[in-house]
Chains A and B, each alone.
Chain A
Amino acid sequence: MFRIIPDTNINFIGARKIAFGVSILLVALGLFAAVMIGTGRGNLGIDFAGGAMLQGHFAEPVAIDDLRGALTGTFDDVKVSTIKDFKLPNAFMIKTKRPETEGESKERVAVIKDIMVERFPGNTFAVDSEHIIGPAVGESLRKDAMFAILISLAGIIVYIWIRFDFRSGIAATVATFHDVLAVLGISYFAGIEFDLLIVTALLTLAGYSLTDTVVVYDRIRENLKKFRGRGEFVTSVNRSINEVLSRTFMTSGTTLLMVVTLAAVGGEVLRSFSIALILGVIIGTYSSVFVASPIIVEWEARRPRLFK
C-alpha cells in the first residue's frame, strides 16, 4: 500500500477566517467579470459578439498552424479552421472579431490578403466569400441556458435537502457558485476570451465541484452519526475533511493529470478551456474544504442542532 497522504489531523476549519477573506476576494473578482461580460464590455469571443468571416482557398496545400501563426501577429483573436470540401481543397475559414465599420471590414480583407502574399510566396490565396456574422449564442440560447441552470440548482438544493439537510443544500450551491465566479474572475483578469468553450469549462467545473462537496458532506454526515454527543461539531467536520483528504488529493490529482495534458498538448484552441478547467479543479477542491464545510460550521454556530 503506497500512500501519498498519511493520516492527518489538520485544523482546516480553524483557517476559515483567512479562507473566507480569500474567497470573498475571488467572488468579488468573479462578480465584476460577470457584470462586465453581461453588459458586453468584457473580452467577448466571436461566439458571443459576432465577427467577420472570410472564406478562401490556396492553390497549394498550407498547414493550418502556419496560417494561424501568420495571422495571429496582426489579429490576436483570429480563429482559423479548415473547410472540408472535396471540390475546393486547401480551403480555410478565417474569423476575426466584429469590425466597427463596413470600411474596416474591407480593410481587414485587404490586410489578410497582403499577409497571405507575404507569408506564402509562390502560393495564391483566393477569397471566396466574406461577410459579417452574428453571434453564435443568441438571446434565446442564453435564456434557455439560464433557465436550465436555475432548474438544476433548484433540483440540487432539493436533493441535498432530502438526503442531508436544507443548509447543506444551500452551502453546496454557494460553494459551486463561488467556484464558477472565481474561475470566471481569474480568467477575465488573465485576459482569457469569453467564448463557448469557457462556458463549457465553467459547467464542467461546477459539476466537479459539486461532486467534491457532496463527498465531504457525506463523510460529515456519517461522522456526526457515529460521534453524536461525543464531541464538538467542529471536531467532527475537521475529522471528516481529514479522513477524505487522501481521496480528495487522489481525485483532484487524476483529474488534473487529464486537464494538464489537455493544456500541454491539446493545441492552441483548447488551451484557455483547459486552463479554466485546471483552475476549476484546484478551486473546486479548495472550496469543498474551505468554503462548503465552514459555511455549515458557521451556520451551526449561529443556529445549532439543525444538522442532524
Chain B
Amino acid sequence: MSGQKWRILLTLLMVVLAVFAFLDTFKLWTMTDEDQQAMQETAPGELLQLQQRAIRLGLDLQGGIHVVLRVKMEEMDEGAREGAVERAMQVIRTRIDGLGVAEPIIQKQGNDRIIVDLPGYTDAERAEDLIGQTALLEFKLLENNENARLLIDRIDSVVYQYELSQAENDTTAETGAAPTETTPEPETAAAEGDVDVTAGSDLLAELTGDTADDTSAFEFDENLNVEDDVRPFSTRMEQFLFSRETGVSWPAFLVDKKDKQRFDKWLNLPEVKRVIPVDVQFAWSTRPSIRNNREIYELYLLRRKVEFLGKYLHSISLGQGQYGGFTVNFRLSGEGAARFASLTGRHINKPLAIVIDDRVESAPNIQSKIRNQGEITMGSGADVEDAKNMQIVLEAGALPAPVEIIEKNVVGASLGADSISKGFSASLIGLVLVLLFIGLYYRLSGVIADIGLLFNLFFLLAVMAGLSATLTMPGIAGIILTIGISVDANILIFERIREELRTGKTVRASIDAGYQRAFVAIFDSHVTTLITAGALFIFGSGPIKGFAVTLFWGVLISLYTAYVITKVIFDIRKGYKSLSI
C-alpha cells in the first residue's frame, strides 16, 4: 500500500506545483481588456510581469510585428564577418528590451538572417527604427553629483505636482501637458544616430579642461518647496556609484525593475523634459541585473557630449584580472589612441560610461591614462556571462554589423480575436462532449478517465506556464491531439479490462490485468508520438515547434495520468464485487 501512498503524494505535489505555475496565467486570462488597460495605466510594470509569467500567446494568436533582417556581410571587412550575426542580435535584444514587449523572439535564420518577432506590439515604425539601425557605441561622462541632485530635486517636485493633478482630476493633466511647443528638443543629440568621424573629432577637440563647473545649465526655482515625503522620483532610486579614491559620488542609481515603466513615463512628461537641461540625458543600463535579490535597472545621468566613439576600439578580448574576476581588454591605435589618452588623462578617477544606442553597458572608473591598451575590470559580482555581454557590446560598436530589413509584417492575430474566442469555446464544448461520451459509455470508470483527462490538460497548461512556452494555433492543435491520445490510453485500458472480465476473471484481477496488458500498446504509441514531437521540437521552427511543444508535454503527461492518476483512483477500493465499466 505504500506504493499507493507515494503515488497519491506525488500527484498532490504535482497539483500544488501546477496551481502555482498556472496562477499568473489564470489571473491574466480572466482579466478583461478594460482591466488590462487600467492596469497598464496604474501599474505597467505589474502587467508586464504578469505577461511574462503567464503562458505567452504566439504571434498568430495575439498579433504583433514580424521582421526579417539580413546582415550585410558584403559591406563588412573579411575579419569582421565572424560573429557579425550574433553581435547584431545582441544589439537588437538590447534595444528591444526597452520596448516593453513581453516576449520578443530573436532567432538566427540561416547564415546571415535574423528573425525578430514582437508579439503584442503594433508600432511598426518604432520597431523598424530600433531594429534596423546599426549599433552606435559612444563613451560619455557622467554629470557631477551636485548638478544631478539639483535636477533630481526639480524632477521630484514636477512629478509630485503631476501625480497630484492626476489624482485630483484628469483635466489638470491636460493643461499641464499643453505647452509642449516650448519644450527644448533633448532628443536631437540622440536622434543623430550616425555621428561621423569628423563630428566626433570636433567634439573631442572642443573638449577642454574640467567640464564639471557647468552649473549654469540649471535654473533652480527656489520657490518650490520640496518636502521629503513628496519625492516620488528620488525615493524610488538608490545611488550606488562612488569613487573610493576621491570620495565623490556619481549620479548613477538603482531602480527596481517594476518601477522602470513608471520612470519612463515620468521622464517623458513634457513638463519633466522641460527641466532637464539640453546637455544632459538620463540613460538606463542595457539590461536588468540582480542586486540584493531584487531585479534592478541602473539609471545614469550622462552628459550628452560624445567623448569618444567605439569604432576606434579593436582586438577586444576577455581576460583574467590581477585579483581574480574577469576583465575585458581592448586595444587602440593611431588617432583613436591619442584621443583616448587625452580623454582618460583629463578624467582620472571619474566614471566613463560605455553607451550603446543610448543605453549604458557599464560605467567603469578611469584608473589611469589609457593610450594603446585598455582593460575594463568587471565588478566583483560579475560572472563570465556579464563579461561576454560587455565584449559583444564593445565588438558591436567597434565592428558594427550593418543590417537591412528584408521583410516586415505587422500582423494582427492572424486568426482574429473573434476566431480565437470561437475556437476556444468550440474546444470547450468539444471537450465537454468528449467527457460526457466517455462518462456515459464507461459509466463510473469513464468518470475516472474524465478526471484523468482533466488532470492531463491542467498539468499541460501548468507546464506551458512554468516553461514560459508560447502557445500558438498549432500548439492548440497539439492539445487536441493530446486529448485524443489521452482518451485513447483510457479506452485501451478499459477495453482490455472488459476483455478480461469476459474471460470470467474477478474484477480486481481484471483491472490489474487490463492495466498491465494495455501498457505495451500505450507505451509504444506514446513513445512513437514522443519521438515525432521531440524531433519536430528540436529541428523544427515556428509553427512546427509550437505544435511539437504541446504535443510532447501532453503525451508525456498522458502517460502519467493514465497509469498513475486513474490507477490511484481505481485502487482506492481494494475489493470490487462489480465494476461499473
Contact = CB atoms under 8 A, between A and B. Distances in A.
Query: Do A and B originate from a single complex?
Result: yes
A94 to B, nearest CB: 10
Interface stretch (B7-15, B236-244, B336-344, B428-436): B428-436
B492 A64 contact: no
Contacts of B414: 47, 79, 81, 136, 196
A138 B68 contact: yes
Given A64-B416, A64-B418, A134 B407 contact: yes
B226 interface: no
Contact of A215 (B437, B492, B517, B531): B492
A82 B418 contact: yes
A81 B551 CA distance: 27
Contacts of A160: 524, 528
B481 A208 contact: yes
Interface stretch (A15-23, A100-108, A256-264): A256-264
Contacts of A149: 536
Contacts of A262: 423, 426-427, 430, 480
A202 to B, nearest CB: 10
Interface stretch (B269-277, B300-308, B356-364, B471-479): B471-479
For A85, A159, A215, A273, the residue with the greatest tally of chain B CB atoms inside 10 Å of its CB is A215
A83 B410 CA distance: 10
Most buried by A among B485, B528, B581: B528
Contact of A257 (B437, B498, B547): B437
A251 B66 contact: no
Contact of B474 (A203, A208, A261): A203
B488 interface: yes
B477 A254 contact: no
Interface stretch (A31-39, A139-147, A230-238, A299-307): A139-147
A306 to B, nearest CB: 19
Interface stretch (B48-56, B370-378, B537-545): B537-545
What bracket does the count of chain A residues touching chain B fall in?
35 or more
Contacts of B33: 84
A140 B524 contact: no
B481 A269 contact: no
A52 B527 CA distance: 43
B528 A200 contact: no
B434 A258 contact: yes
Contacts of A208: 481, 484-485
Interface string B452-474: 00000000000000000000011
Interface string A39-74: 000000001000001010000000011000000000
Given A201-B477, A211-B485, A267 B419 contact: yes
B535 A200 contact: no
Given A82-B417, A145-B544, A210-B532, A218 B539 contact: no
Contact of B412 (A93, A215, A273): A93
A159 B437 contact: no
Interface residues of B, number: 81
B397 interface: no
Given A81-B414, A261-B426, A253 B437 contact: yes
B491 interface: yes
A200 B547 contact: yes
A197 interface: yes
Nearest to B438: A254
Contact of B433 (A92, A156, A203, A257): A257
B109 A261 contact: no
B479 to A, nearest CB: 10
A266 B409 contact: no
B122 interface: yes
A191 interface: no
Nearest to B546: A200
B529 A211 contact: yes
B170 to A, nearest CB: 16
A233 to B, nearest CB: 20
B224 interface: no
B207 interface: no
A152 interface: yes
A247 interface: yes
Contact of A196 (B63, B474, B528): B474
B520 interface: yes
A254 B437 contact: yes
Contact of B419 (A85, A133, A257, A269): A269
Contacts, number: 247
Contacts of B485: 207-208, 211
Contact of B63 (A81, A137, A152, A206): A81
A155 interface: yes
B40 interface: yes
A248 B137 CA distance: 65
Most buried by A among B40, B443, B484: B484
A86 B34 CA distance: 10
Nearest to B499: A243
B426 A141 contact: no
B62 A84 contact: yes
A251 B426 contact: no
Contact of A258 (B109, B431, B527, B535): B431
A246 B433 CA distance: 19
B37 interface: yes
Interface string B39-60: 0100000000000000000001
A111 to B, nearest CB: 21
A204 B477 contact: yes
Contact of B487 (A163, A172, A255): A255
Contacts of B481: 204, 207-208
A268 B488 CA distance: 29
B573 interface: no
A96 to B, nearest CB: 14
B211 interface: no
B425 interface: yes
Contact of B531 (A64, A152, A261): A152
A219 B544 contact: no
Contacts of A134: 407, 409
Interface in B493-526: 495, 498-499, 501, 517, 520-521, 524-525
B524 A261 contact: no
Contact of A270 (B426, B492, B529, B536): B426
Which 3 interchain pairs have the tightest Cβ spacing? A267-B422, A152-B535, A81-B416
Interface of B: 33, 37, 40, 60, 62-63, 66, 68, 109-110, 113, 120, 122, 124, 407, 409-419, 422-423, 425-427, 429-431, 433-434, 437-438, 441, 443, 473-474, 477-478, 480-481, 483-485, 487-488, 491-492, 495, 498-499, 501, 517, 520-521, 524-525, 527-529, 531-536, 538-544, 547, 551, 581
Given A138-B68, A140-B110, 8 more contacts: A81-B414, A151-B539, A152-B536, A159-B528, A204-B480, A208-B485, A247-B488, A270-B423
Interface of A: 1-4, 47, 53, 55, 64-65, 79-86, 92-93, 129, 133-134, 136-138, 140-141, 144-145, 147-149, 151-152, 155-156, 159-160, 163, 172, 196-197, 199-201, 203-204, 206-208, 210-211, 214-215, 217-219, 222, 243-244, 246-247, 250-251, 253-255, 257-262, 264-270, 273, 277
13 contacts: A81-B419, A82-B413, A140-B110, A144-B544, A148-B539, A159-B531, A196-B414, A207-B481, A243-B499, A261-B427, A261-B429, A261-B433, A266-B422
